[in-house]
Amino acid sequence: MLASFYLSFTTYNMVGVPRFIGLTNYRILLFNDNLFWPSLWNTLYHVMLSVPLGLVVGIALALLLNTKIRGMGFYRTLFYLPNVVSVVALSLLWLWLFQPSFGIINQVLDPVYRLLNMEPLGWYRDARLSKLTLILMGLWTAGGSMIIYLAQMQDIPFELYEAASIDGANALQKTTRITLPLMTPSIFFNFIMGIIGGFQVFTIAYIMTGGGPSRSTYYFAYYLFDKMIHDNNMGSASAMAWILLLITLVLTMLALSLNRFVFYLGEQK
């Protein structure tokens, strides 16, 4: 980590000795690099959509699976399973599912296309839809946050629901006034982890789109990878890594300020 900090102030192509150049790498990235800001915007767009969508889907799954019916353990395992599958394998699977010409998703939607008299969606091959396609694919792993929500829900005292029933509360009122407020610690945790993970998005774009089309999925981490591997520019890549760390740190600290809205059972924050 300290080595990368030093390298960010040098020019170094992994051959020879690093040469100190001060803040030049940072200045070039911020003011003279045509790909720095677009790649950062692509990443911010991904974070702004994927984090709230991931929270909603994870909570919905947890509420759906927090019931005592036969075989529930199997269903919980089924929804969690994508989290233990290789990201590469999942990306290749979704590459096939979203294939515009013969993919299953467009085949299922074919009656809708015919009804609306429209061409099949290009998904990851369409610059307007490519980022959204990768975000939808990412929701496939919402089972990871679902497990955390389920654990939190199992910890809620059943007496609270009994008291609410006596007071005449229906299922929706119990969910909005008991379950969700007492789930805020796990929601807050997944919110923070979603921000951190969102800025690291790389693999799915590398496999599914190669950063395209028209660099619409050329994320910040992808650009950092190209700087390091393809350009052999370790100095600039290190500077990008530290900028990414700073951005993530600032946004995480801002998110932590929302801690006052989190309700901890047995302790008022």
- Looking at the structure, tell me whether residues 68 and 177 fall in a common domain: yes
Q: Domain range spanning residue 186?
A: 49-217
Alpha helices in 8-35 (DSSP H): 24-31
**Residue 256 included in any domain:** no
Q: What is the model's pLDDT at position 70?
A: 85
- Looking at the structure, tell me whether residues 162 and 30 fall in a common domain: no
Cβ–Cβ < 8 Å for 49, 135: yes
> CA 115 to CA 177: how far, in whole Å?
42
Structure-derived torsion over alpha carbons of residues 112, 124, 37, 8, reported in degrees to the nearest 10: 150
Residues near 139 by Cβ (< 8 Å), separated by ≥ 6? 50, 53, 54, 57
Mean predicted confidence (pLDDT) in 150-162: 92
- Looking at the structure, tell me whether residues 30 and 60 fall in a common domain: no
> CA 214 to CA 65: how far, in whole Å?
41
Work out the percent of the chain whose per-residue pLDDT is above 70. 99
Work out the percent of the chain whose per-residue pLDDT is above 90. 89
Q: How confident is the model at residue 95 (pLDDT cuts 50, 70, 90)?
A: very high
Residues in the chain: 269
Max Cα distance, the chain (Å): 76
- Looking at the structure, tell me whether residues 62 and 182 fall in a common domain: yes
pLDDT of 16 > 90? The answer is no
- Looking at the structure, tell me whether residues 9 and 58 fall in a common domain: no
Average of per-residue pLDDT values in the chain: 94
SS3 32: coil
Q: What CATH number does the domain containing 206 carry?
A: 1.10.3720.10
- Looking at the structure, tell me whether residues 225 and 179 fall in a common domain: no
**Residue 261 included in any domain:** no
Q: Per residue in 170-197, pLDDT tens?
A: 999 999 999 999 999 999 999 999 999 9
Q: What is the model's pLDDT at position 269?
A: 44
From the list 98, 49, 51, 83, the residue with the least C-alpha distance to 207 is 98
pLDDT of 267 > 80? The answer is no
Residues near 130 by Cβ (< 8 Å), separated by ≥ 6? 123, 124, 209, 212, 213, 216, 217
- Looking at the structure, tell me whether residues 133 and 186 fall in a common domain: yes
Q: What is the model's pLDDT at position 266?
A: 63
Count up the domains in the chain and report the number. 2
